[in-house]
């Protein structure tokens, strides 16, 4: 019996583990190794160069530009998405007609959730194409025609180096709010009703209930969301690759780390150098997760 059990376990784990090891774990480990070589990706020969690639990265103005853009997204995107999603979740839950105790929800909240979530299920290229055309810089572009309609002039949108990154940021936020709305909403519905009833007895209004009862109980979810959104902002690729001119333009105003990895690794024949960028990205991710989990740590509330 015992022997048979181990054979069964091994038999069930073998294929998934081999697949995972070959296509996921080994490339991750190789990336760390290649990051210390001058491998071109073309020739089978390469030398071990130690930390040279990382030193070069420090003086690579294009890469630093990409890091700076990633940091802008990293700070702004999670903040905007969480604020908007919380605000909408608040409206859905707290402002409901006769929401005697907490989470009854506004009429039609199912419909709102259905619609808000929609961008999440469509592929990024689809979204990128739609927005690339909407944000057409010509005066007849859709966004510009709206601006004209309300009495403003045309903008350059994705063609304007000062604006392009914010267009990317907007599309990221636009696509993510629905997901986090549904997430926060689910977390809110798992809060026991008696807590809201108790708050009500104590004379708390809607706003007070939201900030004093709901928010603290949601803190864990918000914190996890923050980490996920930060990883998303660091990993952004498809949107920039499809939507921006170049991609990464105009004038490198939308360069991001992932784009630099793709260009160095596959176009410029600098596989080792690109791997070094990947390693930087990895430690960035780790650092962000650690900081967020630490900085936002609060006493956990069990209920």
Partner 1 sequence: MAVTTRTGDAGTPTPTPPRQAGDGRGTGRAGDVGVNVFSHVVLLGWTVMVVVPFAWALLASVKTSPEIFGSPWSLPETFQWSNFARAWDKGVGQYLLNSVIVVTGGVVLTMLFGSMAAYVLARYRFPGNRVIFYLFAAGMMFPVFLAIVPLFFVVRNLGMLSTYQGLILVYTAYSLPFTVFFMHAFFRTLPTSIAEAAFLDGCSHTGVFFRVMLPMARPGLLSIGIFNVLGQFNQFVLPSFLSPEKPVLAQGIATLLASQRYEGDWGALFAALTIAMVPVVVVYLLFYRQVQAGLTSGTLK
Looking only at residues 216 through 275 of this chain, which bind partner 1 when binding is defined by CB under 8 A?
A: 221, 224-225, 228, 231, 234-235, 237-238, 241-242, 257-258, 261-262, 265-266, 271, 274-275
Cis peptide before 250 (omega within 30 of 0): yes
Smallest distance from partner 1 to CB 261, Å: 5
* Closest to 77 in 3D by CA, of 177, 160, 163, 158: 177
From the list 51, 79, 83, 115, which residue makes contact with partner 1 (rule: CB under 8 A)? 115
Phi-psi region of 260 (alpha: psi -120 to 50; beta: other; left: phi over 0): alpha
Interaction between residue 203 and partner 1 (CB under 8 A): yes
Q: What is the DSSP letter of 300?
A: P
Q: What is the DSSP letter of 1?
A: -
> d(Cα 223, Cα 190) in Å, to the nearest integer?
17
Torsion, CA 65, CA 67, CA 69, CA 75, rounded to 10: -150
Smallest distance from partner 1 to CB 62, Å: 16
Which stretch in 46-54, 68-76, 107-115, 152-160 sits in contact with partner 1 by CB under 8 A?
Answer: 107-115
Asked whether the beta carbons of 177 and 79 are under 8 A apart, the reply is no
Smallest distance from partner 1 to CB 55, Å: 19
> d(Cα 180, Cα 86) in Å, to the nearest integer?
8
Interaction between residue 189 and partner 1 (CB under 8 A): no
Give, as ranges, the residues between 57 and 76 that touch partner 1 (CB under 8 A).
none
* Closest to 279 in 3D by CA, of 24, 28, 25, 21: 28
Interaction between residue 47 and partner 1 (CB under 8 A): no
Interaction between residue 5 and partner 1 (CB under 8 A): yes
Smallest distance from partner 1 to CB 251, Å: 18
> CA gyration radius for the chain?
24
Residue with tokens 């994705």: 158
Smallest distance from partner 1 to CB 148, Å: 11
Smallest distance from partner 1 to CB 287, Å: 12
In degrees and rounded to multiples of 5, residue 267 shows phi and psi of: -110, -40
Interaction between residue 44 and partner 1 (CB under 8 A): no
Smallest distance from partner 1 to CB 189, Å: 12
* Closest to 86 in 3D by CA, of 2, 177, 170: 177
Interaction between residue 147 and partner 1 (CB under 8 A): no
Interaction between residue 50 and partner 1 (CB under 8 A): no
From the list 38, 41, 52, 269, which residue makes contact with partner 1 (rule: CB under 8 A)? 41
From the list 4, 153, 295, 299, which residue makes contact with partner 1 (rule: CB under 8 A)? 4
Which stretch in 57-65, 161-169, 277-285, 291-299 sits in contact with partner 1 by CB under 8 A?
Answer: 277-285
């Amino acid at each position: 019996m015992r022997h048979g059990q181990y054979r069964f376990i091994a038999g069930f784990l073998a294929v998934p583990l081999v697949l995972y090891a070959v296509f996921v774990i080994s490339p991750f480990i190789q990336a760390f190794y290649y990051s210390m070589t001058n491998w071109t990706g073309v020739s089978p020969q390469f030398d071990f160069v130690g930390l040279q690639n990382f030193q070069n990265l420090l003086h690579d103005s294009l890469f630093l530009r990409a890091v700076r853009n990633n940091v802008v997204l990293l700070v702004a995107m999670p903040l905007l998405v969480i604020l908007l999603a919380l605000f909408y979740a608040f409206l859905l839950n707290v402002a409901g007609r006769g929401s005697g105790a907490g989470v009854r929800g506004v009429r039609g909240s199912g419909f709102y959730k259905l619609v808000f979530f929609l961008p999440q299920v469509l592929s990024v290229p689809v979204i990128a194409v739609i927005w690339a055309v909407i944000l057409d810089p010509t005066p007849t572009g859709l966004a510009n025609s709206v601006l004209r309609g309300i009495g403003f002039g045309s903008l350059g949108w994705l063609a304007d180096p000062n604006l392009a990154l914010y267009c990317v940021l907007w599309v990221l936020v636009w696509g993510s709010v629905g997901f986090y709305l549904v997430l926060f909403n689910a977390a809110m519905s798992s809060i026991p009703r008696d807590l809201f009833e108790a708050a009500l007895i104590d004379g708390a209004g809607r706003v007070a209930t939201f900030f004093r009862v709901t928010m603290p109980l949601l803190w864990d979810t918000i914190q996890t969301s923050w980490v996920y959104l930060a990883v998303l902002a660091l990993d952004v690729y498809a949107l920039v690759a499809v939507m921006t001119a170049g991609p990464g333009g105009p004038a490198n105003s939308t360069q991001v780390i992932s784009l630099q990895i793709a260009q160095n690794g596959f176009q410029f024949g600098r596989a080792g150098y690109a791997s070094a960028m990947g390693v930087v990205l990895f430690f960035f991710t780790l650092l962000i997760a650690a900081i967020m989990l630490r900085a936002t740590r609060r006493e956990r509330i069990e209920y």
